[in-house]
Structure 1
Amino acid sequence: MKAQVFRGVNQLSYEEVPMPDLASDEVLVQVRVVGLCQSDIKKIRYPLYEPPRIFGHETAGVIAAVGSQVQNWQVGQRVVVMHHIPCMRCAYCLNENFSMCDVYKNVTTTAGFAPSGGGFAEYVKVPGHIVQNGGLIPIPDDVTFEQASFVEPTNCCLKAVRKAQVAPGQTVLVTGAGPIGLMFIMLVKYFGAKAIATDLLPSRLEKAKSVGAEAAFDARDPDLAAKIHAMTGGVGVDTTLLAVPSDKAFFQALDCTRKGGKILFFAEFPDEVEIPINPNILYRREIDLMGSYSSSYRVQALAADIVFNKRIDVDALVSDRYLLKDLAAAVDRATSPTPETLKILIYPEGEG
């Protein structure tokens, strides 16, 4: 089968690799579409992992083979593949910190080499632990593979929204109106709160308003904090969701978030970035700082419901479609986006 093999930093090789061998409890899925995630791009462009590997994890496809002991799954079923499932028994899982679980981190789907997601291939193997514990989600007949591929990123955003306790009537600042920021806006609105967006691109500000933002401002606006305070009765937003790795965005969040409010880090910053802060700002204003990384098993069913029942418009997030053989070009587009670039989807040969 064909796959895009990571051979080193910025080195993707479109090559023939062996079809994964199935154990008795495993499932083989033919990939029909896989989303290109920012985490995939970081793994390709920075020396984070030893090659060779096959990345890609926002996968939707069709079951192509099942192991002899697999029950309740049949060849031909359309499925979303979740690449991580926690053990549900360790100290992290018992405290619902599922993404910290060793099983969650180390047992994942694969198309060969060190298991690394495997979605950038024609076929991906799903380990028995994931098969048996909710890592395959049936796709309803009226849902496209493209739409279904959004279940995993929706889960990640939903986890953050839940962690920040976004509630009806609140106002939420979303910094960055890329694919993740736009999804945050949709989810904030779905949960009955109001979203205000910031970005540097006018096209993304317009897109933010089109998907439900109450207002959208240029992040460079010197009057940003004053405008947001004017919209919130002089108080500030209840919560800020940082969807861009920007220290400037963080300090804007401090200026725009009300006393007793929350600031949630969602975007991953470069490791060398350090943000100086006077702790008395947090102490005197009772600001909660929090982070949200990856997905949560607890919200998996809700994420699927939101996507499958079209409670948010994931189709509005898609801007580009590339064949698997052109993955390097897709990564280049994502790292040097046009004003119209949002979510990029990848298809095996012949599917784009």
Structure 2
Amino acid sequence: MKAQVFRGVNQLSYEEVPVPAIASDEVLVKVQVVGLCQSDIKKIRYPLYEPPRIFGHETAGVIAAVGDAVTNWQVGQRVVVMHHIPCMHCIYCLNENFSMCETYKNITTTAGFTPSGGGFAECVKVPGHIVRNGGLIPIPHEVSFEQASFVEPTNCCLKAVKKAQIAPGQTVLVTGAGPIGLMFIMLVKYFGARALATDLLPSRIEKALQVGADAAFDARNAELSAKVQAVTNGLGVDTTLLAVPSEKAFFQALDCTRKGGKILFFAEFPDEVEIPINPNILYRREIDLMGSYSSSYRLQALSADLVFNKRIDVEALISDHYPLQDLAAAVDRAVQPAAETYKILIYP
């Protein structure tokens, strides 16, 4: 089968690799669509992992083979593959910090080499513990593979929204109106809150309004804080969701978030970044800082419901379609987006 093999920083090789052999409790999925995620891009462009590897994890496809011991799945079923499933019995799982679980963090879905997701290939092997514990989600017949590929990123965003306790009547600032920021806007609106957004690209500012933002601003506007205060009756927003790894965006969040409000870090910053902050700002204004990493096992069913029943319009986020052989060009496009670049989908 064909796969895009990571051979080193910015080195992707479109090559022939063996179809993974499956054990008795495993399933082989023929990949139809896989979303290109910012985490994939970081793994390709920075020296974070030893090659060779096959990345890709926002995967939707068709079951191509099942092991002898697999009883609940059949060849031909359309499925979403979740590449993270926690152990459910460690101290992190018992406290519902599923993404901190070592089993969760140890990716085991693979198309060959060191297991790394495997979606950037024609087929991906799903190990037994994922097959048995809810890591395959059936796709309803009326839902496209493109739509289904959004279940995993929806879960990640939904986890952040739930952690920030976003509720009806609140106002939320989303910094960055890329694919993740736009999904945040949709989820904020779904849960009954008002969404404000910032971005650097005029097209994305306009797109934020199209998907439901009540107001959207240029992040470089020197009057940003004043504009946010104006639309919140001088109070500031209840919560800011940092969807871009920007130090400037964080300080804007401090200026725009009300006393007693929350700032949630969603985007991953480079490790060398350190943000100086006077702790009295947090103390006197009672600002809560929090982070949200990856998805939550508890939210899988709700994430699938949001996507499959079109409670959020994930199709509005899709902008580009690339064949697997052009993955390097897709990465370049994501890093240097055109005016209308949002979510990029890859087709093995």
Please confirm whether the aligned pair reaches a TM-score higher than 0.5, indicating the same fold: yes
Give the structure-1-normalised TM-score. 0.98
Distance in 2 between residues matched to 1:224 and 1:214, nearest whole Å = 15
Deviation of residue 214 (structure 1)? Answer: 0.1
Distance 2:5 2:110 in 1: 12
Partner of 1:303: 303
Equivalent position SS for 1:29: strand
3-state SS in 2 of match to 1:50: coil
Kindly provide the amino acid, as one letter, of the partner of residue 179 in structure 1: P
Q: Which residue of 2 aligns with 1:281?
A: 281
Q: Deviations over 1:247-275 (max 9, x none)?
A: 00000000000000000000000111110
The answer as to whether partners of 1:159 and 1:292 remain within 8 angstroms in 2 is yes
Q: d(CA) in 2 for partners of 1:322 and 1:17?
A: 20
- Structure 2 matches for 1:157-168, cutoff 5 A? 157-168=157-168
Measure, in 2, the Cα distance between the counterparts of 1:88 and 1:131: 15
2:170 aligned partner: 170
Aligned match of 1:257:
257
Q: TM-score, normalised by structure 2?
A: 1.00
1:296 partner letter: S
Q: Deviations over 1:42-64 (max 9, x none)?
A: 00000000000000000000000
* Structure 2 gap ranges (5+): none
- Aligned equivalents of 1:7 and 1:172: distance in 2? 41
Contact 1:107-1:127 at 8 Å conserved across structures: no
Deviations 1:317-348 (A, max 9, x none): 01100000000000011111111111000001
Q: Are 1:85 and 1:135, in contact at CA under 8 Å, matched by a contact in 2?
A: yes
Distance in 1, Cα, partners of 2:111 & 2:320 = 24
Mapped contact 2:26–2:127 kept (Cα < 8 A): yes
> Partner residue of 1:8?
8
* Equivalent-residue separation in structure 2 for 1:309 and 1:140 (angstroms): 10
Deviations, residues 45-88 of structure 1 (Å, cap 9, x unaligned): 00000000000000000000000000110000000000010000
Give yes or no for contact 2:107–2:117 (8 Å, CA) kept in 1.
no
Tell me how far apart the structure 2 counterparts of residues 107 and 336 of structure 1 sit (CA, whole Å).
29
Partner of 1:347: 347
SS state at 1:228 partner: helix
1:188 aligns with 2:183: no
Q: What CA RMSD, in Å, does the superposition of the two structures yield over aligned residues?
A: 0.5
Q: Are residue 51 (structure 1) and residue 51 (structure 2) matched?
A: yes
> Unpaired runs of 5+ in structure 1?
none
Counterparts of 1:107 and 1:69 in 2: how far apart (Å)?
22
Q: Is the 8 A contact 1:31 1:121 kept in 2?
A: yes
Tell me whether 1:102 sits opposite 2:102 in the alignment: yes
Residues 43-192 of structure 1: pairs in structure 2 closer than 5 A? 43-192=43-192
Give the superposition deviation at 1:108: 2.2
CA shift for structure 1 position 190: 0.2
**Equivalents in 2 of 1:33, 1:229: separation in Å?**
42
Contact 2:173 2:240 in 1 (8 A): yes
Q: Is the 8 A contact 2:107 2:116 kept in 1?
A: no
Identity percentage of aligned residues: 86
Preserved contact between residue 6 and residue 44 of structure 1 (Cα < 8 Å):
yes
Tell me the CA shift for residue 233 of structure 1: 1.1
Cα offsets for 1:296-334 (capped at 9, x unmatched): 001110000000000000000011000000000000111
Give the total of aligned pairs.
348
- Equivalents in 1 of 2:138, 2:251: separation in Å? 43
